[in-house]
């Protein structure tokens, strides 16, 4: 059974999220503050986390920062609608997606389902089990592993999926809108800067900014030479 951890200190939100997720067949765990949330992650090893930014004991951003040192689990951040900084900082420290409060529980469930589909089957158009091989980089799509010059690179789900879409379309410029649709889905209501932040992480982790070229005013292109 797929395990989802909800970390939020507002009982009404926790109960609402549980009420919508459990009928979908998910096993739902909860935590009400930062320290207990981090312990729950280690104890339950969830497939996905719904994480509130404003938490007692340790805020959600600090928890996320600590979490990323040991896990690449998919994280959907809950932020207040007016706190733009929380969204950007959250993405910068490793959130895969965010939903603003107040939110539609149906939208959250849709985001969760889309994320789990990507984790289980991938988001690109390549066949399962295929491998993309370039001069410097190798992507095993089935194992969801990336290696640069034979060194494994640790990517989050969203980072892997963005790189996969670009690599499968090597040499072709893809707009932010196209990347959003192919990775997060056509119903995504977030901001396009989510693409920029995640691709910034990918560039840093790959260790070579030339692999992903920014085409000013248009989008991004993957440029490693195929073998």
**pLDDT band of 6, cuts 50, 70, 90:** very high
Q: Looking at residues 181-206, what average pLDDT do you find? A: 80
Contact yes or no for 75/87 (Cβ under 8 A) = no
User: Going by C-beta distance under 8 Å and a sequence separation of 6 or more, which residues neighbour residue 76?
Assistant: 48, 49, 50, 51, 95, 96, 97, 98, 99, 108, 111, 112, 115
Name which of 203, 225, 211 is nearest 135 in CA terms. Answer: 225
Better-predicted residue by pLDDT, 150 or 193: 150
The mean predicted confidence, pLDDT, of the chain is 88
Q: Extract the tokens encoding 127.
A: 């066949």
Q: Extract the tokens encoding 104.
A: 């539609």
pLDDT at site 123: 46
Kindly report, residue by residue over 38-65, the tens digit of the pLDDT. Answer: 999 999 999 999 999 999 999 999 999 9
Alpha helices in the chain, H assignment, sequence order = 11-21, 34-44, 60-67, 84-92, 105-121, 157-168, 176-183, 193-206
**pLDDT band of 111, cuts 50, 70, 90:** confident
pLDDT at site 143: 85
Assess whether pLDDT exceeds 50 at residue 127. Answer: no
DSSP-derived 3-state class of residue 137: strand
Assess whether pLDDT exceeds 80 at residue 191. Answer: no
Name which of 143, 112, 86, 121 is nearest 4 in CA terms. Answer: 112
Contact yes or no for 123/161 (Cβ under 8 A) = yes
Distance (Å, rounded) from C-alpha 211 to C-alpha 167? 9
User: Going by C-beta distance under 8 Å and a sequence separation of 6 or more, which residues neighbour residue 212?
Assistant: 163, 166, 199, 202, 203, 206, 220, 221, 222, 223
Name which of 199, 217, 196, 198 is nearest 209 in CA terms. Answer: 199
pLDDT at site 82: 66
Dihedral class, residue 207 (left if φ above 0, else alpha if ψ from -120 to 50, else beta) = left
| Integer CA distances (angstroms), 160 to 31, 74, 134, 144, 187, in order | 28, 12, 16, 7, 20
pLDDT at site 58: 94
Assess whether pLDDT exceeds 60 at residue 81. Answer: yes
Kindly report, residue by residue over 140-186, the tens digit of the pLDDT. Answer: 988 889 999 999 998 988 899 999 999 999 999 999 989 988 888 76
140 forms bridges with which residues in the sheet? 131, 145
pLDDT at site 124: 44
Assess whether pLDDT exceeds 90 at residue 193. Answer: no
Distance (Å, rounded) from C-alpha 176 to C-alpha 155? 20
């Amino acid at each position: 059974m797929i395990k989802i951890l909800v970390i939020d200190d507002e009982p009404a939100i926790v109960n609402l999220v549980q009420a919508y997720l459990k009928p979908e067949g998910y096993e739902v765990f909860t935590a009400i503050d930062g320290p207990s949330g981090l312990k729950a992650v280690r104890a339950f090893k969830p497939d996905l986390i719904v994480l509130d930014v404003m938490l007692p004991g340790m805020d959600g951003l600090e928890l996320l920062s600590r979490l990323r040192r040991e896990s690449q689990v998919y994280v959907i951040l809950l932020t207040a609608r007016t706190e733009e900084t929380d969204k950007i900082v959250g993405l910068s420290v490793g959130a895969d997606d965010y939903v603003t409060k107040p939110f539609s529980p149906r939208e959250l469930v849709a985001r969760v389902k889309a994320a789990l589909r990507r984790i289980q089957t991938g988001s690109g158009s390549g066949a399962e089990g295929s491998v993309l091989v370039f001069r410097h980089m190798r992507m095993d799509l089935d194992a969801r592993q990336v290696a640069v010059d034979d060194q494994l690179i640790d990517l989050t789900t969203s980072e892997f999926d963005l790189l996969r879409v670009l690599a499968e379309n090597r040499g072709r410029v893809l707009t932010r809108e196209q990347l959003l649709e192919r990775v997060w889905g056509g119903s995504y209501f977030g901001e396009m800067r989510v693409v920029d932040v995640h691709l910034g992480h990918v560039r840093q982790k790959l260790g070579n900014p030339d692999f992903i070229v920014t085409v000013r005013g248009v989008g991004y292109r993957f440029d490693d030479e195929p073998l």
